[in-house]
C-alpha cells in the first residue's frame, strides 16, 4: 500500500489533510497490435497495461475507508448501493460481491488519487490479455489442464478439484498468460466495461443494462473459463463469483 495526502472532503473549508492508503497495482504491459478475437475475428489494440491480479479485499477496502461510497464524484451516472460484505474476507482474495457500478466507481476514485486513468477493461482488452495474440482457449494453451485454475473440475469430468470458494490471487502461477497476467481463468468472473448486447457502448449509465463478464469462476466448469466465453449479468447484480481487475493506458508507479 502507498500513502498519499489528499484533501479531506468533510472539512473542505479548512482544507485539512489526512493520509489515505492506496493499493499498489502490479501492472503488466500488453503490447499493441493485431490479435484473434472471439471465433477468428482479427482486431487491433494499442499497447495497454493490465493488473496482474484481480482487485483484492484489502485493496477494495481502501476505497471504502476513504469514504468512496459517500463522495458523489465517483458515482456520476452510476447506481450507488451500500457496500456488501465479501463472502470470503481474506485480505488477498479477490473482492467479490461487487456490481459493475461499484467496480467503475473504484476505478474513478483510484484514477483521481494517482493522477492517471485506470478503469475496467473492455471485452477486447480482456480477451487480448487472456488469449495472447493467437487466440488461445486458455491463458496457458488450447486445452484445459487439471489443477490449473480454480473451477469446478468435477463438472464434465475435467479433473478432481472443486474448492467451492475463491482462492488467494496468484496461487496458480503456472497458469499465467503469455505476458504473465494471472487468474484470467477461474476464481471470479471479471466485469468488463462494455454492454453485452451493444459492445460498442462503454459509457456509464443507470439503465441497468447487462454488462459483460469474462473468465469463469470457482463455481463453473472449465469450459466457462475459456478466454472467448462471454457471460451477461445486469449491471447491479452482486454475487460471490463476481470480481474485477483494472487496466491503464500508461504504467503507474
Per-residue pLDDT of the chain (253 residues; tens, 9 = 90+): 654 443 333 433 233 234 567 888 999 999 999 999 998 889 999 999 999 999 999 999 999 999 999 999 999 999 999 999 999 999 999 999 999 999 999 999 999 999 999 999 999 999 999 999 999 999 999 999 999 999 999 998 999 999 999 999 999 999 999 999 999 999 999 999 999 999 999 999 999 999 999 999 999 999 999 999 999 999 999 999 999 999 998 766 5
Q: What is the pLDDT of residue 199?
A: 92
pLDDT of residue 127: 97
pLDDT at 1: 60
Q: Is the pTM of this model over 0.85?
A: yes
In angstroms, rounded to a whole number, what is the distance separating the alpha carbons of residues 195 and 173?
A: 31
Q: Does domain 24-248 match CATH 3.40.190.10?
A: no
The owner of cell 503488466 is 28
Domain ranges in the chain are 24-248
What's the grid cell of residue 227? 478466454
Strand 242-243 and strand 189-195: the pairing is parallel
Residue 72's pLDDT is what?
97
Of 196, 187, 193, nearest in space to 165 by CA: 187
* pLDDT value for 197: 96
What single-letter DSSP state applies at residue 119?
E
Cα maximum dimension of the chain: 63
| Rounded Cα gap, residues 127 and 107, in angstroms | 20
**Structure-block grid coordinates of residue 235:** 449491471
Amino acid 50: pLDDT: 97
CA end-to-end distance (rounded Å), the chain:
12
* pLDDT value for 16: 29
Amino acid at each position: 500500500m502507498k500513502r498519499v495526502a489528499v484533501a479531506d472532503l468533510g472539512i473542505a473549508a479548512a482544507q485539512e489533510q489526512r493520509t489515505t492508503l492506496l493499493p499498489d497495482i502490479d501492472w503488466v504491459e500488453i503490447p499493441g497490435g493485431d490479435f484473434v478475437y472471439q471465433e477468428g475475428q482479427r482486431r487491433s489494440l494499442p499497447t495497454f497495461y493490465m493488473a496482474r491480479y484481480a482487485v483484492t479485499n484489502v485493496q477494495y477496502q481502501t476505497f471504502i475507508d476513504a469514504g468512496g461510497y459517500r463522495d458523489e464524484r465517483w458515482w456520476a451516472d452510476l447506481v450507488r448501493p451500500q457496500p456488501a460484505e465479501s463472502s470470503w474476507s481474506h485480505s488477498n482474495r479477490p473482492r467479490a460481491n461487487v456490481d459493475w457500478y461499484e467496480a467503475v466507481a473504484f476505478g474513478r476514485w483510484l484514477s483521481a488519487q494517482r493522477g492517471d486513468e485506470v478503469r475496467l477493461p473492455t471485452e477486447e482488452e480482456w480477451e487480448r490479455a487472456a488469449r495472447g495474440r493467437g487466440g488461445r482457449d486458455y491463458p496457458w494453451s488450447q486445452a484445459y489442464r487439471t489443477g490449473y485454475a480454480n473451477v469446478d473440475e468435477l463438472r464434465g469430468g475435467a479433473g478432481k478439484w472443486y474448492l467451492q470458494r475463491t482462492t488467494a490471487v496468484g496461487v496458480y502461477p503456472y497458469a499465467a498468460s503469455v505476458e504473465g497476467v494471472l487468474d484470467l481463468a477461474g476464481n471470479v468472473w471479471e466485469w468488463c466495461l462494455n454492454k453485452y448486447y451493444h459492445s460498442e457502448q462503454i459509457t456509464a449509465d443507470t439503465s441497468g443494462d447487462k454488462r459483460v463478464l469474462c473468465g469463469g469462476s470457482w463455481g463453473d466448469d472449465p469450459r466457462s473459463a475459456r478466454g472467448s466465453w462471454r457471460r451477461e449479468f445486469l449491471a447491479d447484480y452482486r454475487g460471490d463469483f463476481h470480481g474485477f481487475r483494472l487496466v491503464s493506458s500508461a504504467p503507474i508507479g
